Amino acid sequence: MSSVIEKIFQMHTREKVEVGNTIWIDIDLRTARDFAGAKVVENLIENYEGNYVDDAKKTFFTFDCNAPANTIGYANNQQICREFARKNKIKVFDVNRGIGSHVVIEEGLAYPGVTAVGTDSHFNILGAIGAFGQGMGDVDIAFVFKTGKTWFEVPPTVKVNFIGIPDGKWSAKDLALLCVKELKNKVLGKSIEFYGDILEKLSMAGRITLSSMVTEMGGIVGFIPPNKEIISFCEKRSGKKIEPVYADKDADYEKEIDIDVSNLEPLIALPGNPANVKRVSELPYTEINSVFIGSCTNGRTEDIFSVSKIIKGRKISENVMMKIVPATREVWQELLEKGVIKELFSAGAIISHAGCGGCASGQIGMTGEGEVQVSTSNRNFKGKQGAGDTYLASPETAAVSGLLGYIGGIDEYEVEG
Amino acid sequence: MNMKLKGRVWVIEREGKLIDDIDTDMIYHNQYLHITDKKEMAKYAFSNLEGWKDFYEKAEEGDVIIAGENFGCGSSRQHAVDCFLAIGIKAIIAKSFGAIYKRNAINSGMAVLECSSIDRAGLKNGDIIEINLLNGEIKKDSKTIAKAKPMSIVQTNIYKAGGLFSYAKSI
Ligand code: SF4
């Protein structure tokens, strides 16, 4: 019987869905961002005459990489997309709106069971709400804009069972880093389904954190079965009655992998490789220069809220620059209304407008040669966030390290309720 | 489109071992993403991969790349395929590919083959191989040295059409 991806695909194709088959599937939601959007437009104009989009209501641009643009290249690209969008009646979520993969959830455009694509390799984040999302290149996306379809090789599914519930201090990011470490090379090109009691402890933000790092695990997409909270959020936002897609009880998994999480504790990925994961507690004394909190992995209200709980009323180390970038405008507003922005500011943080900034080469700057940064993002390949060395950790670890001036664990601080 | 290719190989290895996890930044660094002229992209192919930064000077039209696991993992940038097409690279054979990379390559009309045993085929830089895209057979001096997974029918059709856009016009 069928896994989640097989079921979602079957709802979107007339062909028979079988692992290994290459099939054509209908795409409900088609997006391009500022990074490759201009190339998508160019491809469309070069290859098709006049009639560029299959369905403008299902097609969107989301500007998040470089928002507002701080290079002329990006500014030009955004302008090319805007003009194309206006002519073809496509909605643009412009530079003020935030990270595209989050915006489509907030706007109720993505919900359990849909198929969605974008020019963003973390578009599989949508697995967090039980939807199929996939990042693709500009040729693929142009084709989807034009036809509403794409081809896909049906991947095998791996079932990941989390065993136990940790009782110490841990966060969704620690779980995600553990998975990158444990699953790297075991799920390459596969669909993942996550199960286990620990998932009930994860809110939507936590689920987004876990699903966002499936790309670093090497997987195609990682599905978390939607619970009541997710379903009611998506119903409210989309205005639709939602029938989530769950796997059949006897679904055919390629394999099952158990991961013991009962001793989960704060983890950190060393510079250069997201899978080189260590316990924060076993790291030697490491001084840092900067902290980046944000990205599609950890830029939600809850993430930034937990930072504020740690740093409020205290001062960030004077040797550290702490940069905070909320994922979306909606997150910004929530933080503003809850008074969190003020706490962060008073502690010494720099707060930028919503977007990817700091993760991509965006509006809040990059690291310089020799600079050591703790980042809540998802990738620390050389060059991605600048020329410096980037460690990946949870918002809590990042916050504590910002106060200390060196990488430190949450145990070093008392946090109020 | 010819389903049998012949070309000179570049074995992308370090210390005698195929390099795994070559990501899109190593293939085509993000600092060159603003470039839109494909010919220009050729210059930066592998220009951020330690030991292979001079690839552009060495490689020639018709060459074939041999790589390790998870080739092209990372971002969805098309440049990482276009830079090789611009040189005239004919095919990439890897132990496995990053999923997005594989799609991008097929959609652009590049031949890509997955071959888990390619590291045991005894290939050296400069060897001439023959590839049969239909059955995945890889030969050297007329002897079969490895067997790759053949491309699927849809993938073959896209490749034969010369890429996704031309394919779309044919359906
Ligand atoms: S935050 Fe970083 S990883 Fe996420 S979509 Fe933006 S650039 Fe990509």
Chains A, B: CB contacts under 8 A, how many?
A: 91
Report yes or no: B23 and A381 within 8 Å, Cβ to Cβ: yes
Predicted local confidence at residue A175, as pLDDT: 98
CA distance A360 to A103: 17
Tokens 């961002």, residue?
A33
Specify the DSSP element, H or E, that contains B96.
Answer: none
Q: Whose CA is nearest to atom 2 of ligand 1?
A: A359
Q: What's the CA dihedral at A7, A152, A194, A100 to 10 degrees?
A: -110
Last residue of a domain, one of A219, A242, A260: A260
A417 in a structural domain: no
Q: Whose CA is nearest to atom 1 of ligand 1?
A: A295
A229 in a structural domain: yes
Predicted local confidence at residue A126, as pLDDT: 98
A225 in a structural domain: yes
Residues A239 and A134 in one domain: no
Per-residue model confidence as pLDDT tens for chain A (417 residues): 999 999 999 999 999 999 999 999 999 999 999 978 999 999 999 998 888 999 999 999 999 999 999 889 889 999 999 999 999 999 999 999 999 999 999 999 999 999 999 999 899 999 999 999 999 989 999 999 999 999 999 999 999 999 999 998 899 999 999 999 999 889 988 999 999 999 999 999 999 999 999 999 989 999 999 999 999 999 999 999 999 999 999 999 999 999 999 999 999 999 999 999 999 999 999 999 999 999 999 999 999 999 999 999 999 999 999 999 999 999 999 999 999 999 999 999 999 999 998 887 777 888 999 999 999 999 988 777 888 999 999 999 999 999 999 999 877 776 654
A168 in a structural domain: yes
Q: What's the CA dihedral at B4, B9, B11, B16 to 10 degrees?
A: 110
Q: What distance in Å separates residue B67's CA from the closest CA in chain A?
A: 16
Residues A148 and A199 in one domain: no
Residues A141 and A173 in one domain: no
Residues A47 and A18 in one domain: yes
Predicted local confidence at residue A131, as pLDDT: 98
Contacts of B44 (CB under 8 A, 6+ apart): B28, B29, B32, B35, B56, B83
Residues A397 and A339 in one domain: yes
The domain in which residue A360 lies consists of 268-412
Ligand 1 centroid from CA B171, angstroms: 35
Exposed/middle/buried for residue A146 (C-beta within 10 Å: 0-12, 13-18, 19+): buried
Three-class SS state of A277: strand
Q: What is the ipTM of this complex?
A: 0.85
Residues A291 and A405 in one domain: yes
Last residue of a domain, one of A117, A136, A153: A153
Share of chain A above pLDDT 70, in %: 99
B104–A135 C-beta distance less than 8 A: no
Three-class SS state of A363: coil
A236 in a structural domain: yes
For residue A143, list chain B residues with Cβ-Cβ distance below 8 A: 107, 164-165, 168
Predicted local confidence at residue A386, as pLDDT: 84
Phi/psi of residue B40, nearest 5 degrees: -65, -35
A135–B164 C-beta distance less than 8 A: no
Residues A276 and A376 in one domain: yes
Q: Whose CA is nearest to atom 6 of ligand 1?
A: A356
- Domain total in chain A: 3
Beta-bridged to residue A328, according to DSSP, are A98
Last residue of a domain, one of A153, A172, A205: A153
Residues A374 and A350 in one domain: yes
A230 in a structural domain: yes
Q: Which of B23, B78, B153 sits opposite A137 (nearest CB)?
A: B78
Ranges of chain B whose pLDDT falls below 50: none
Predicted local confidence at residue B1, as pLDDT: 67
CA distance A394 to A306: 10
Residues A139 and A167 in one domain: no
Residues A374 and A285 in one domain: yes
Q: Please provide the DSSP assignment of A174-230 as one string.
A: HHHHHHHHHHTTTSTT-EEEEESGGGGG--HHHHHHHHHTHHHHT-SEEE----HHH
Contacts of A231 (CB under 8 A, 6+ apart): A112, A242, A244
Which domains does chain B carry? 4-170 (3.20.19.10)
The pTM (predicted TM-score) of the whole model is 0.92
Mode of pairing for the β-strands spanning A267-269 and A255-260: unpaired
DSSP state for residue B108 in the 8-state scheme: T
Residues A15 and A132 in one domain: yes
Mode of pairing for the β-strands spanning B128-132 and B137-140: antiparallel
For residue A135, list chain B residues with Cβ-Cβ distance below 8 A: 76, 100
Residues A408 and A274 in one domain: yes
CATH number (domain holding residue A41): 3.30.499.10
Residue in chain B closest to A275 (alpha carbons) equals B21
